Amino acid sequence: MLTVVAAAIEVATGIVLMVAPSAFARVLLGTGLSSAGQAVGRIAGFALLLSLGLACWPKDRPAAGATSGALASPALLIYNLLITLYLAYVGIARELVGTLLWPAVALHAVLLAFLVHARFFKPKS
């Protein structure tokens, strides 16, 4: 379930970046993007977030010996760790702060906590 939620958030973010990267930057960071920034934002939407979200979407049949989402969890964990740290740094430095910056930090921190718990603190069976 956690992998589905995290994957869905990344797919949605990737779609928004592909369609309206400057609007996304404005609400996240408080400023729009230049034309080059919009192109890079769309690349990020295509290549990174949408692909990460789709790659991490649970499969009907996991690989032999793997549980559903077992391969996705490390990628999502690392991504959420890095994006939480970076967005928090941006907010603390007060370089770029938009309406959704701190909610985005909180969302990624919560996802990170759940992913860490699922990865390292599984109940013994």
Looking at residues 40-47, what average pLDDT do you find?
A: 78
Q: How far apart are the first and last CA of the chain?
A: 19
Q: How many CB atoms lie within 10 A of CB 108?
A: 22
| pLDDT for 110 | 95
Instruction: Kindly report the pTM of this predicted structure.
Output: 0.67
Q: Per mean pLDDT, which range of 11-25, 26-40, 54-68 is the poorest?
A: 54-68
Encoding tokens for residue 21?
């990267």
Q: Which pLDDT tens digit goes with each residue over 63-116?
A: 554 544 555 677 778 888 888 998 898 889 887 788 888 999 999 999 999 889
Encoding tokens for residue 75?
């990628």
Encoding tokens for residue 20?
């309206």
